[in-house]
Amino acid sequence: MFTSKISINNLSECKVLTVPYTLIMSFFGGFFYVLVNLLNNTSLSKIPQATLLKGILTFGIVIIFLVISLYGWYANRFFSDERNKSMGVFLMLGMSRKQVYKVICLEKFYLFCINFLFSVIFGLCYNSLSFLMIRKLLSIKGLENQYKPVAIIWLLFVLIIVYLFTYLTEYNLLRKSTINQIFSSKDRTESAPKANLILGVVGFVFLIIGYDLALTTSNVTTSFRTFILASLLVAIGIIGTFSSGIILLIGTMKKNTHIYYNRKRYVLIAGMLHRLKNSAVSLSLICVLSTITLIVISVMGSLYIEKRNMVNMLSPKEITVMAVESKFESMLKNIANETKVSLSDKESLSISQSVYGDLANNKLDIDKNGGVTSDYQITVATLSSYNKSNNTNYRLNKNEILVYIQNKKLAKESLVVNGHTYTVKKQINQPRFMFSPGRSITPNIFIITDDIQDTQQILKNKPITIKMEGYDVKGTTLDKQNFYKRLNQTDFKKVGANITSRRLVQSLINTLFGGLFFIGIIFSIAFAMLTSATIYYKQLSEGVRDRSDYITMEKLGMTHKMIKAGVRNQINFTFTLPMLFSLFNLLIAMPVLYKIMVSVGFNSVGLFIETVVVCFVSYTLFYWLICHYTSRMYYRLISDI
């Protein structure tokens, strides 16, 4: 009975730690419940792109599970250190270690029960809001809000794992510690790394390599892999830089007596060195989490806002056909006649099968192996087809070509292709292709020629002509529904044709970007809360630890005003540093992020920049509010000023 009272008393005495710990864990638990509940929603399985959406939700569940585990382990350390001092006293007074283990076990059990209860409550509240949000984002009717017991079971299972892990971690630590070590655990610094020159240099080198990869990658098809590698290198580099690089820099300032022994700078430099040594891990974690939050919401927000334009670009007509023969035309007309719709506003373009190559110094080299790692996708169109599609009347002589290069201009009026020089009669700025250049992952080069031999020379083989046609569909809503239904049921591949409808593309885009934006919102909230919790616990632990230091400084003659000014400068510096790093990381990542977005059809640099600016300003305001609140808490802890 008395162990139960001790455990409850410990939780009550440390409520400044346990209350935010429980609330944030419950928020995360609520998110986990919502995602699992949506994943098991039977009406969601009936939508056209159910597999894609379920993949996105599964990814979100895994990430939220990792967030719960990380936060549970990180925040528990502060409560453990705060409580262990009293446990050390009980051990000195004769309490057995088994009884101490029982007290800790009961603490974890009580926290688990409260956390599970609030997670379910938050989850049920979130569920209705999340369902309305995802139904709006997906733009799909027929979805039903459901409450699945399996979501509660999975939530229970995850929380058991997290709390069991934290208990076993504490159990193992106490088992290996002496009473003296347990008693003084509260006074230990947070993973205080020593300023290691090698670690600082390695961290800085990793940062430079990561930034270089992000800035120099030019191939769209490999940009995602490059971004992942660069992100890992930058994350490791940030930890190394914060742990040693900046400490070495401030340590060098300390050695300069003229700079260090100055009334205005003394408290600032000494305090910063102390803070960075004791909290390097927390600061680097804040920086990484802030960067992740900014990247996620900027990318997902841009993709979702641009989705309508992307649908029009990917499917400029209601029906788009790609075929090597014209046999599909009779099949398509029969379906239209049977469903009482008409196909109008026909557009067509004949192009070659695309090849890949690299462009440098007005020299275009075709990759004969057809490697998609090349910088450009090259397509050749006949002059007659181009003139008809664009309502132009160009004429070309032998060895003359028209060229369109996506996002680039030729420096000369000639182009060397496979060793043969062509005269560029005109570089096309904005071609009116029924086949949009932005549809493909790799940047496009379109070459228009009027000579079949030139076409063979460019492609290095006999060209395979692909006919592209686009139609708008006229008819009643019911007739059009029947037409699209018949279209989906007909196998056009047997006649060498591939038919895509704008309706299908829109459904795919809504599911993909709506689902990603929904997950992005949850991720952003989760990472922002994790960042807030990291700042909160960092300030709290430092306030408790630094109080005696500031009492000593007062006794040595420093005024409250001087101490408060010094503390304000320290906090401003240490918390501005992660935000500046986050901004720099975001700016470095923007080129490779844009290339990744281009690979899924995004093509608006201006919108991406605007979204990044809005997200950064909003997040900075949120970050400042958190820092302002926790700073006031820190002041209250160290003194009465």
pLDDT at 89: 64
pLDDT digits (tens, 9 = 90+) for 589-599: 888 888 778 76
Is the pLDDT at 535 greater than 70, yes or no? yes
Report d(CA 471, CA 259) in Å as an integer. Answer: 75
Query: At 615, which helix (H) or strand (E)?
Result: helix 605-638
Q: Which of 461, 483, 430 is nearest to 366 (CA)?
A: 461
Determine what percent of the chain is predicted with pLDDT higher than 90: 5
pLDDT at 184: 57
Domain ranges of the chain: 1-188, 192-314+502-641, 315-501
Give me the amino acid identity at 112.
F
Average pLDDT over residues 150-170: 90
The whole model's pTM is what? 0.73
pLDDT at 593: 84
pLDDT digits (tens, 9 = 90+) for 469-507: 888 888 888 888 888 888 888 878 777 788 888 888 787
Average per-residue pLDDT in the chain? 77
pLDDT band of 91, cuts 50, 70, 90 = low
Average pLDDT over residues 304-326: 79
pLDDT digits (tens, 9 = 90+) for 399-457: 888 888 876 777 678 888 877 788 888 887 766 655 555 555 567 788 888 776 667 66
Q: Which residues contact 79 (CB under 8 A, 6 or more apart)?
A: 14, 17, 18, 21
Report d(CA 425, CA 319) in Å as an integer. Answer: 33
pLDDT band of 330, cuts 50, 70, 90 = confident
Name the most confidently modeled range: 257-261, 519-523, 566-570: 519-523
pLDDT at 256: 63
Is the pLDDT at 145 greater than 80, yes or no? no
Q: Which residues contact 91 (CB under 8 A, 6 or more apart)?
A: 97, 100, 179, 182, 183
Is the pLDDT at 339 greater than 50, yes or no? yes
How many other CB atoms sit within 10 Å of the CB of residue 255?
8
Q: Which residue(s) pair with 447 in the sheet?
A: 380, 403
Which tokens go with 339? 């469903």
Average pLDDT over residues 28-53: 80
Return the residue matching tokens 């309490």. Answer: 95
Total number of residues shown for the chain: 641
Q: Which residues contact 213 (CB under 8 A, 6 or more apart)?
A: 226, 229, 230, 233, 592
Report d(CA 61, CA 526) in Å as an integer. Answer: 12
pLDDT band of 264, cuts 50, 70, 90 = low
Return the residue matching tokens 């569920």. Answer: 127
What angle, rounded to 10 degrees, do the helices at 560-598 and 197-216 form? Answer: 40
pLDDT at 563: 67
Q: Which residue(s) pair with 420 in the sheet?
A: 417
pLDDT at 400: 84
CA distances from 528 to 37, 534, 618, 620 (A): 23, 10, 12, 11
Decide: 321 and 497 in contact? Cβ < 8 Å: yes
What letter does residue 423 receive in the DSSP assignment?
Answer: E
pLDDT digits (tens, 9 = 90+) for 457-467: 676 666 677 77
Name the most confidently modeled range: 70-74, 541-545, 558-562: 70-74
Report d(CA 289, CA 538) in Å as an integer. Answer: 15
pLDDT at 275: 60
pLDDT at 641: 47
pLDDT at 113: 92
pLDDT digits (tens, 9 = 90+) for 358-391: 777 778 777 766 555 667 788 888 888 888 877 7
Determine what percent of the chain is predicted with pLDDT higher than 70: 75
pLDDT at 189: 46
SS (H, E, C) 252-287: HHHHCHHHHCCCCCHHHHHHHHHHHHHHHHHHHHHH
